[in-house]
Amino acid sequence: MKKLSFASDYMEGAHPAILQRLIETNMEKTEGYGTDEFSESARNKIRAACGASQADVYFLAGGTQTNAVIIDALLRTYQGVIAAKSGHINVHEAGAIEFGGHKILELEHNNGRISASNIERYIRGYWQDENHEHMVMPGMVYISQPTEYGTLYSLKELKEISRVCRENHIPLYLDGARLAYALACPENDVELKDLAALCDVFYIGGTKCGALYGEAVVIPEHGFVPHMLTIIKQHGALLAKGRIAGIQFDVLFSDGFYEKIGQTAIETADMIRRSLMEKGYQFAFHTPSNQIFVILDKDRAAVLSERIAMGFWENIDDLHAVFRIATSWATEKEDVRRLIDCL
């Protein structure tokens, strides 16, 4: 029997509706670099979904690239970015932010989340330090939704972070690599319109949410980042056939599709969570989204790994470790049942 895969949410190709649209449009000739009508249509649908009719929208290829481009665009050379110690930019981007010359100013986190009060304390601490001119100036805040731990910021938390950023005149940037899975969570209360109202820049993930590749950067205030196309080009992030990303996001933002595409992932994750609880498994921490962090006896995990691909997260002690089970838009209920049977 074929091995089950719950290793991550980018294991398949694209949602069939996306492939279908690529086929339909394939031989049409369009301009390059995102100036085509498909990309413009996608931009308009994203603007509408975000309630940000003047927003600048750009399509990039992947998450690390997007983070590097945005952070470099928002910071002056002598500024750093405040982020959770656990932030993707701080751990799993191979130094892409430092490659652009910027320090990541780490904050302690609560299962991936940082708090408005800690951000505020850091910024104040910087400016009150008599040696602050010898230190890296905090120039923006980076958060992710869902976080790298699969947790969510509540609307209240996000509003507080946004307020601190605005009071201190530094932009707030939100990494939405898995945003569709946040939007599909019953306990989520942060909508796209909230992101547009509270963030200065955010990106809507495509790669992990049904696209072949692609992330949509949204800058609610038109012109907030001047010369963005040149910045994207300089980072090697401007795709000649920009339409391919445009077409994909045009599909994802037709008829509220993006807000629904994560539902299967959440439903199947909930099935797995319930089953794990019933069977007496412990979780490393609670997550409402498509990632589950379960504690397994290592011997048991070794046996399971022959039948199920999961992600190793971290060791707890000599006998136990945390493993990540991830669902996606493409997860099939039959596979979930087989997974539950194995556990």
How many residues line the site for a second copy (CB under 8 A)? 76
Does 230 interact with a second copy (rule: CB under 8 A)? yes
Of 121, 156, 166, 227, which one interacts with a second copy (CB under 8 A)?
227
Of the pair 12, 187, the CB lying nearest a second copy is at 12
Give yes or no for residue 41 binding a second copy (CB under 8 A): no
Judged by beta carbon, residue 134 or residue 279, the one nearer a second copy is 134
Helix (H) or strand (E) holding 281: none
Structural contact between residues 34 and 239, judged by C-beta atoms closer than 8 angstroms = yes
One character per residue 302-321, x = contact with a second copy (rule: CB under 8 A): ----------x---------
In angstroms, the CA 272 to CA 337 distance is 9
**AA identity, residue 121:** R
**Subset of 105-134 contacting a second copy (CB under 8 A):** 106, 130-131, 133-134
* CA distance linking residue 95 with residue 64, whole number of Å: 10
Encoded amino acid at 328, one letter: S
Q: How far is the CB of 212 from a second copy (least distance, A)?
A: 5
Q: Which is nearer to a second copy, 97 or 164 (CB)?
A: 97
Residue 42 binds a second copy, judged by CB under 8 A: no
* Candidate list 10, 142, 253, 257; residue touching a second copy; CB under 8 A: 10
The single residue among 55, 59, 63, 151 that binds a second copy, judged by CB under 8 A, is 63
Which range touches a second copy (CB under 8 A), out of 95-103, 147-155, 160-168, 183-191? 95-103
Quickly list DSSP for 216-245.
EEEESSTTSSTTHHHHHHHTT---TTHHHH
Using rule CB under 8 A, residue 31 touches a second copy: yes
Q: How far apart, in whole angstroms, are the C-alpha atoms of residue 24 and residue 298?
A: 49
- The counts of H helices and E strands in the chain are 15, 13
Contacting residues for 226 by C-beta, under 8 A, at least 6 apart: none
**1 makes contact with a second copy (CB under 8 A):** no
Q: Are strands 291-297 and 282-283 parallel, antiparallel or unpaired?
A: antiparallel
Could you give the CA distance from residue 115 to residue 161 in angstroms, rounded to a whole number? 7
The answer to whether residue 80 forms part of the interface with a second copy (CB under 8 A) is yes
